[in-house]
Structure 1
Amino acid sequence: MKYMEIRDLIGQELKKYAANQLIPSERYLALKYDCSRETVRKAYEQLRAEDKIYKVQNVGWFVSNKKIQYYPASTANFNSYLKTQGFSAKTELISAKQIDSSFEGADAFDSEIRKSGFFEIIRLRYADNVPVLLEYNYLPVALFPGFLDFDVIPSVEEVVKNHYALKYSSSQLKIKNTAAEAFGGKLLGIPPSQTAIRIERISKSDSQVIEYDVEIWPQDKIEMNLDINA
């Protein structure tokens, strides 16, 4: 059987499964349809391209949930906009430490501010218990002394506003495809052959840059939305 025929058969079977439910393995379906695992794999890849299923490394294939609607111009934090869209949100702190200015993006800050180093915060975000976002936040020590003494897991932005009396007044975004890096790809379940969406954000309070962050999203988890007023 050709992989497109297998895709159609699997597509019908998916109607029996709930969102985020594990579906049969490639080996099982190869035996069921008397074909090679490579044929089943191609069918699954086609269904993934159609946003019907997704893969978690070393676990298996799952039925896709609805996509997160991502609004680049929005200032809402992760927890609030997921809740608005009907998802349950969870955040895992991967690491939080002080580093020097050798990371990509440090040159967005003033040279004097760079001398004191930065706080690097890495968090893994979940929607309905599925990892959907790996987020790197960089904040200058000179502007935010003692930042890691606060609870940064729910929202870095809330700590900035509530404890340092700085507001986020504007952001500059760069959105591009990127290779699924070994670290991010593994945590997000992105296969090495797949690319991810990389969003770089430079945030300012008035004219001063106060934060640089990088978001890594699996391509099948979000849809970009942008409202433009004439």
Structure 2
Amino acid sequence: MKYMEIRNLIGQELQQYAPNQLIPSERYLALKYNCSRETVRKAYEQLRAEDKIYKVHNVGWFVSNKKIQYYPASIENFNSYLKAQGFSAKTELISAKLVDAAFDGADVFDPAISQDGFFEIIRLRYADNVPVLLEYNYLPAALFPNFLDFDVIPSVEEVVKNHFKLNYSSSRLKIKNTAAEAFDGKQLGIPSSQTAIRIERISMSDNQVIEFDIEIWPEDKIEMNMEIHA
């Protein structure tokens, strides 16, 4: 059978599954439909392109859930806007440590405050128990001494505002589609055939840069929304 015929048969079967439910393996369907695994793989890739399914590396294929509506200009934190959209939110701390100024983006900070290094915080964010965001936060140690003594898992911004009394006055964003780095792809289950959305955010308090963030999203998990007022 041609892969589009297999795609149509699988598409009918997807109606029996719930969002985020694991669906049959390529090997199983190849035996069921008496075709090659390559044919099934192409059918699955077609369904993935239609946002009907997604793949988790080394696990398998799952039925897609609704997409997260992402507003780059919003100041709401991850937990707030996911819960408002009906998702359950969870965050896992991957690492939190002091690093030097060798990371991409360090040049946006004032050199005078870069000499003491930066706190690097890496968190993996989940929506309905599915990994959807890998987030890197960089904050200068000179401005935020002992930053890691605070609970940074829910919100870095809340720690900055509540404990260091700095407000976020403005941000600059750069958004692009890119191939995921090996570490990022492994954490988020992004297959090699799929690109990721990379968002770089420079946050300022008055005229001083206080934070640099990198967000990595699987392209099939979010929809970008912007509001423009005349």
Using the TM superposition, give the Cα deviation of residue 193 of structure 1 relative to its aligned residue in structure 2, in angstroms.
2.5
Does the alignment pair 1:117 with 2:117? yes
Does the alignment pair 1:50 with 2:50? yes
Q: What is the match of residue 170 of structure 1?
A: 170
Q: What is the match of residue 36 of structure 2?
A: 36
CA–CA separation in structure 1 for the residues paired with 2:112 and 2:206: 18
Does the alignment pair 1:17 with 2:26? no
Using the TM superposition, give the Cα deviation of residue 55 of structure 1 relative to its aligned residue in structure 2, in angstroms.
0.3
Structure 1 residues 130-156: Cα deviation after superposition (integer angstroms, max 9, x where no partner): 000000000000110010000000000
Does the alignment pair 1:94 with 2:94? yes
CA–CA separation in structure 1 for the residues paired with 2:21 and 2:107: 44
> Which amino acid in structure 2 is aligned with residue 16 of structure 1?
Q
Using the TM superposition, give the Cα deviation of residue 17 of structure 1 relative to its aligned residue in structure 2, in angstroms.
0.4
Using the TM superposition, give the Cα deviation of residue 191 of structure 1 relative to its aligned residue in structure 2, in angstroms.
1.1
> Which amino acid in structure 2 is aligned with residue 221 of structure 1?
K
Using the TM superposition, give the Cα deviation of residue 10 of structure 1 relative to its aligned residue in structure 2, in angstroms.
0.6
Using the TM superposition, give the Cα deviation of residue 71 of structure 1 relative to its aligned residue in structure 2, in angstroms.
0.1
The root-mean-square deviation of aligned C-alpha atoms, in Å, is 0.5
> Which amino acid in structure 1 is aligned with residue 58 of structure 2?
N
Secondary structure of the residue aligned to 2:101 is coil
5+ long unaligned stretches in structure 1:
none
CA–CA separation in structure 2 for the residues paired with 1:193 and 1:18: 25
Q: What is the match of residue 126 of structure 1?
A: 126
CA–CA separation in structure 2 for the residues paired with 1:24 and 1:138: 41
Using the TM superposition, give the Cα deviation of residue 206 of structure 1 relative to its aligned residue in structure 2, in angstroms.
1.0
5+ long unaligned stretches in structure 2:
none
Q: What is the match of residue 192 of structure 1?
A: 192
* 4+ long deviations beyond 6 Å: none
Secondary structure of the residue aligned to 2:197 is strand
CA–CA separation in structure 1 for the residues paired with 2:74 and 2:14: 34
Q: What is the match of residue 229 of structure 1?
A: 229
CA–CA separation in structure 2 for the residues paired with 1:82 and 1:214: 19
CA–CA separation in structure 1 for the residues paired with 2:12 and 2:84: 31
> Which amino acid in structure 2 is aligned with residue 89 of structure 1?
A
Secondary structure of the residue aligned to 1:76 is coil
Moved more, 39-48 or 190-199: 190-199
Structure 1 residues 86-115: Cα deviation after superposition (integer angstroms, max 9, x where no partner): 000000000000000010000000010111
Secondary structure of the residue aligned to 1:180 is coil
CA–CA separation in structure 1 for the residues paired with 2:94 and 2:63: 27
CA–CA separation in structure 2 for the residues paired with 1:130 and 1:215: 16
> Which amino acid in structure 2 is aligned with residue 128 of structure 1?
D
CA–CA separation in structure 1 for the residues paired with 2:16 and 2:89: 26
> Which amino acid in structure 2 is aligned with residue 74 of structure 1?
S
> Which amino acid in structure 2 is aligned with residue 19 of structure 1?
P
CA–CA separation in structure 2 for the residues paired with 1:193 and 1:51: 14
Secondary structure of the residue aligned to 2:76 is coil
Q: What is the match of residue 150 of structure 2?
A: 150
Structure 1 residues 21-54: Cα deviation after superposition (integer angstroms, max 9, x where no partner): 0000001111111110000000000000000000
